[in-house]
Amino acid sequence: LSPDCSFTCHYRCRALVRLDCSGPPSASDGDDDTEQALEKDTNVDEPSEWDKAELDQAQVEQRIKEYNSQINSNLFMSLNKDGSYTGFIKVHLKLVRPVSVPATKRVPSLQAGRSGLRTQGVKRRMSFYLPKGTVKHLHILSHTRASEVIDALLRKFTVIDNPRKFALFERSEKDEQVYLRKLADEEQPLRLRLLAGPNEKVLSFVLKENETGEVNWDAFTLPELHNFLRILQREEEEHVRRLRHRYARCRQKMQEAL
């Protein structure tokens, strides 16, 4: 159990876990709390306004020219001869759970060869939290799907967790409200980027955990269930702390206005 972030793991896995704990959350975390309070998840089956648009070849070429004229970097989109196009998307990684990466350790083998004991690789995994505010640019094709973007991101960070544990979200800001929509596996992020334009407030992409319904708790042992209960208690206490902090800020603003 880490004293700073309250991370709990099995005692045999303790030596394999690496944490980047920086102490208790500071008051500056309030901005994230405010954004979480403003976020509204929408249904994945509800297509966004960008996904409804249909463009012909001439319109795609014109959109690309307009897009390239609006960006202040060299992350341009390029039209290919076959009618497809390539470009960059920026993905914000907002993961609240640790991810696993491979950690191979050489250990002696029990089988002795002619030259003595041989060594063999033992596959182990090391878990850690991605730093807050992690952003990754990807160069993709117009027909690259959301599921393929997730796979590419996991390969970039050598994450060995199941890709189905993650989901790509479309984030937009409108009327001082933040909206999130989970992209379907077949949706094309670069096409959405082209239709929405380069403005990050209009459209941005976020990688988050994929919440996949109910958990079969009967499949866990008693020690695991007790451990889950302790984790849930700490998460509840942290959630209450954030709520109190947010309301305290609102109360302070009201008092200053009075």
Predicted confidence (pLDDT) per residue in 64-121, tens digit: 999 999 988 888 999 998 889 999 999 999 988 888 888 764 544 444 444 444 545 4
Can you give the pTM of this predicted structure? 0.60
Alpha carbon distance 227, 2 (integer Å): 14
pLDDT of residue 74: 85
Alpha carbon distance 125, 160 (integer Å): 8
Token output for 45:
């089956």
Q: Which fold has domain 39-98+124-212?
A: Ubiquitin-like (UB roll) (3.10.20)
Q: Are 134 and 93 in contact (CB under 8 A)?
A: yes
Give tens-digit pLDDT for 33-70: 445 545 555 544 455 555 566 778 889 999 999 999 99
Q: Over 80: is that where the pLDDT of 28 sits?
A: no
Nearest one of 222, 224, 8, 218 to 97, comparing CA atoms: 8
Half-sphere exposure of 78 (CA within 13 A, CB side): 9
Give tens-digit pLDDT for 213-250: 666 667 677 877 888 888 889 889 999 999 999 999 99
Confidence band (pLDDT; 50, 70, 90) for 15? Answer: low
pLDDT of residue 91: 95
pLDDT of residue 107: 42
Alpha carbon distance 200, 191 (integer Å): 15
